[in-house]
Amino acid sequence: MVMARTTGAFYVMGGVLGLILTAVAPGDEGNRPLVGSAAFVALLLGLSLLIWGPRMQHAAHHVYVGIATVLVTIAVHWFPNTVGAISLAAFYVFVACDAAIFFAWRWLGVHLAFAIVCCLWVVPSRGLPWWSGLIPAGITFGIGIVVGILTRMASDADIDVLTGLLNRRGFDRALNNAIGHATRTGQGLALVLVDLDRFQKINDHLGHRAGDAVLQRVADTWEKLLGPDQRLARYGGDAFALLLPNTTEQAAILLTEQLRAAVTTGCSAGVTSWQPGESGSLLVSRADVGLYRAKQAGRNRTVLESSRQLPLAVELREAIDRGTLDVQYQPIVSLSDGDTRAVGVEALLRWSSHAQPDVTTEGLIRVAEEYDLISDLDELVLRRACADAARLQETFAQLDLTLNVNVSGLELAESDYADRVSGILADTEWPADQLVLEVTESELAAESETAIANLHKLRERGVRIAIDDFGTGYSSLSRLATIPSDILKVDQSFVAAIRSDSPAPPLLGVIAALSKSLDLQVIAEGVETEYQAAVLTELGFALAQGYHYSDSHPVSELINDLNEHHGLVGASVDREPSANGWIPVENPLDGGLGGAQD
């Protein structure tokens, strides 16, 4: 677009000046009509470039610059008087400037050589000495070289010295040009912001030279995976930006995952797409929100901050507003006395989507997080669970039940989360010491000072913290020391491995011993058979939950069930999982709201 407007402006200026000089210049030499026609053709070509030039291929501009040299040569040769002809030779400078700004050195040399040869021939052709063309030819050459150097110096200001990629200034310029092109053509445009995880540790422990080497290696690796029209930039520090013309959000996510898989360094990414009328700064800020969410959700992942709301997100938003989401409860039982008495319940979200019936629970929470619904969803579940638990506790005062509710990693990273939980407890009159918030390790960035501070505040106010899905993903002794916690919930995959034809997984015994050493309670998730329950009891596990004891129920049904069995669950009846069409939300929610229990 810039090339077309610049070349078109040169043409229009040359055409207008040529017409004026042809009309007012005295003399009867040469061929005045021919010169006027050349000027008029230049004017028409200039207007065509201004109108259609942005849609032309880059190679077409070489033709326009070459034609400009020919038209100037015709005008100089046939101008009505010699003085005016020498003046018109200054138009070769337009050719030199245009070629120097937009063409590579090789093509600049070709256009300069053609213009200089024409100048050296045509000026003496007016009956002047052979050396008369040296001055305009020399000026043309000098200006072409100087403008070429200055243009490349300005271009280098858009390049990151370390990686050879565009820098932030160059990327912003490319983004604005891409938005202009997308506006004219109606094509899509996607943007990705990528940040290397824990890059500061590389600089701190190995030095800045090692950090620079990592940045160079990442840049080289990613450039090889991109197409010619896809622009990668080092946006600043350890952040990269990727501009993807004519690309959908899903295609951008797929490409981003390929880039992340191609390097050994963990990285987080935010993806978004452009909508007509949006500015470049708005597009970047939305991608940055996606990047922030990726980091707060545990790093080393890609998060879509979509510019368009999916029907599922719209439906979920309406369900939250209307309060039509169900919260059900699965008992947590005590194994210590052998009577499987209920000592707590876990809140589980139940919801069936009409827009996308086959949506997974992981996909549901991802939509809630991407469309900024997770805060309202978390609050709805916690508030209703506390109110239902108060009703349950009132009915069974002798049970002293605890209420377990999962918390989203994104919510925990909000500075006012602890205060919001306290407010809900005050409104519902549910005791803080009977609330257990379950945190999935992979959803909690241990380096997040805000998240850790919220956990400390909650514990100081009496709320207990459980580490969910313990034994998988990010589990480590160092994280146990970092994350304030009171309870471990053993991942159901360990319980599922308990079979009558093989020994119990050794790690279960290790976890049981570890919990005693650290004075932590342990809950075994996913208990489905009597044999699993017996093995867990023998290993010393005191608490468990699963379909062997009870399915999840609405609070009224759970009250009836507990009344019928006098506070006991299971009643020696094995209960198998039932497919009833709802979406379970806990474990697969990974930091969502309740458990897709076992």
For residue 296, tell me if it sits in a domain: yes
The answer to whether the CB of 325 falls within 8 A of the CB of 349 is yes
In this structure, are 79 and 137 located in the same domain? yes
pLDDT, average across residues 426-451: 80
Q: Is the pLDDT of residue 345 over 90?
A: yes
- Taken in order 150, 151, 155, 161, the sign of the CA dihedral is negative
pLDDT of 446 over the 90 cut: no
Which burial class, exposed, middle or buried, applies to 124 when counting CB atoms under 10 A from its CB (0-12, 13-18, 19+)? middle
Q: Looking at residues 159-182, what average pLDDT do you find?
A: 88
- For the cut 90, the answer to whether the pLDDT of residue 349 exceeds it is no
Torsion over CA: 313, 261, 164, 231 (sign): negative
Query: Do 69 and 214 reside in the same domain of the chain?
Result: no
Measure the CA–CA gap between 229 and 522, rounded to whole angstroms.
Answer: 54
Task: Please list, in sequence order, all residues whose beta carbon lies within 8 angstroms of the beta carbon of residue 105, skipping any fewer than 6 positions away.
Answer: 148
Q: How far apart are CA 545 and CA 583, in angstroms?
A: 18
At 309 the pLDDT is 60
The average pLDDT across 96-100 equals: 89
Whether residues 350 and 481 share a domain: the answer is yes
- The CB-side HSE value for 264 (13 A sphere, CA atoms) comes to 2
The CA distance from 134 to 140, in Å, is: 10
The residue written with tokens 């510019």 in the block is 307
Whether 298 and 318 map to the same domain: the answer is no
Dihedral of CA atoms 503, 506, 507, 509 in degrees, nearest 10, equals: 100
pLDDT at 156: 62
Q: Is residue 596 part of a domain?
A: no
Q: How far apart are CA 524 and CA 542, in angstroms?
A: 9
Q: Would you give the distance in Å from CA 62 to the centre of its chain? A: 39
Residue 479: predicted pLDDT: 65
Instruction: Identify the domain containing residue 445 by its residue range.
Output: 311-572
Helix (H, G, I), strand (E, B) or coil at 521: strand
- What average pLDDT score do residues 435-461 get? 80
Average pLDDT of the chain to the nearest whole number: 84
Q: Per-residue confidence at 434, pLDDT binned at 50, 70, 90?
A: very high
Rounded CA separation 154/483 (Å): 50
Token pair recorded at residue 510: 């290790």
Examine the pLDDT at 597 and tell me if it is beyond 50: no
| Concatenated DSSP letters of 291-317 | HHHHHHTTSSSEEE--SS--HHHHHHH
Which percentage of the chain shows pLDDT scores above 90?
Answer: 30
pLDDT of residue 232: 94
**Are the C-beta atoms of 492 and 525 separated by less than 8 Å?**
yes
- The Cα–Cα gap between 110 and 495 comes to 76
Question: How many Å apart are CA 6 and CA 103, to the nearest integer?
Answer: 13
Out of 14-28, 139-153, 162-176, 439-453, least confident range? 439-453
Q: Is the pTM of this model over 0.85?
A: no
* Domain stops at, among 135, 156, 177: 156
Q: What is the separation, in whole angstroms, between the first and last Cα of the chain? A: 60
| Residues 449 and 529 both lie in one domain | yes
Give the separation between CA 73 and CA 260, rounded to whole angstroms. 56
pLDDT value at residue 169: 87
- Same domain for 297 and 317, yes or no, is no
Whether residue 584 lies inside any domain: the answer is no
Q: Which helix (H) or strand (E) holds 246?
A: none
SS3 535: helix
Contacts of 416 (CB under 8 A, 6+ apart): none
Per-residue model confidence as pLDDT tens digits over 477-509: 666 777 888 998 888 888 888 888 878 788 888
Return the pLDDT at 582: 35
For 255, phi and psi rounded to 5 degrees? -65, -40
Beta partners for residue 328, in sequence order: 348
Identify the pLDDT of residue 519: 85
User: Could you read off the pLDDT of 210-254 as tens digits, one per residue?
Assistant: 889 999 999 999 999 998 889 999 998 899 999 999 998 889 999
**Residue 130 domain-assigned (yes or no):** yes
Nearest to 496 by CA among 507, 483, 510, 482: 507
Is 544 found in the same domain as 397? yes
Same domain, 338 and 454: yes
**φ, ψ at 182 (rounded to 5°):** -65, -35
- pLDDT > 90? residue 397: no
Domain presence at residue 587: no
Task: Supply the pLDDT for residue 67.
Answer: 92
* SS3 per residue for 193-235: EEEECCHHHHHHHHCHHHHHHHHHHHHHHHHHCCCCCCEEEEE
Do 481 and 536 lie in one domain? The reply is: yes
pLDDT digits (tens, 9 = 90+) for 7-59: 888 889 888 988 998 888 888 888 889 988 999 999 998 898 888 887 787 78
Strands in 231-236's sheet, in edge-to-edge order, are: 231-236, 239-245, 189-196, 267-273, 302-304
> Considering the domain boundaries, does residue 387 fall inside one?
yes
pLDDT at 387 over 90: yes
The answer on pLDDT for 584 being more than 50 is: no
Distance CA 142, CA 314 (A): 63
Give the DSSP H or E segment for 103. Answer: none
Contact 99, 112 (CB under 8 A): yes
Q: What is the DSSP string of 322-353?
A: HT--EEEEEEEEE-SSSS-EEEEEEEEEE---
Q: How many residues does the chain have?
A: 598
Give long-range contacts, CB 8 A cutoff, 24+ apart: 181-186.
181/1, 181/54, 181/245, 182/245, 182/274, 183/276, 184/54, 184/55
What's the distance, CA 106 to chain centroid?
39
Amino acid (1-letter code) at residue 82 = T
The reply to whether 582 falls in a domain is no
Instruction: Specify whether the CB–CB gap between 77 and 122 falls below 8 A.
Output: yes
> Which uninterrupted H or E stretch holds 189?
strand 189-196
Better-predicted residue by pLDDT, 56 or 389: 389
Identify whether the C-beta of residue 249 lies closer than 8 Å to the C-beta of residue 275.
no
Query: For 429-441, what is the mean pLDDT?
Result: 89
Q: Which of 156, 187, 205 is the last residue of a domain?
A: 156
Within this chain, do residues 438 and 552 fall inside the same structural domain, yes or no?
yes
Instruction: Give 150's Cβ-side CA count (13 Å radius).
Output: 10
How many domains, in total, are found in the chain?
3
Share of the chain above pLDDT 70, in %: 89
Residue 72 lies in a domain: yes
Q: What is the DSSP string of 422-466?
A: HHHHHHHT--GGGEEEEEEGGGS-TT-HHHHHHHHHHHHTT-EEE
Q: Rg for the chain (alpha carbons), in Å?
A: 36
Give the other-Cβ count within 10 Å of 503's Cβ.
Answer: 9
Paired tokens of 382: 């916690």
CATH number of the domain to which 463 belongs: 3.20.20.450
Is there a single domain that holds both residue 121 and residue 89?
Answer: yes
Convert the pLDDT of each residue in 284-340 to its tens digit.
Answer: 888 888 888 788 777 888 888 876 666 778 888 888 888 888 899 999 998 876 667
DSSP state of 553: B
Eight-state DSSP code of residue 60: H
Tell me, yes or no, whether 248 and 107 share the same domain: no
Token pair for 372:
């900024």
Domain boundary at 156, 184, 218, which? 156
Residue 308: what pLDDT? Answer: 64
pLDDT at residue 337, as a whole number: 65
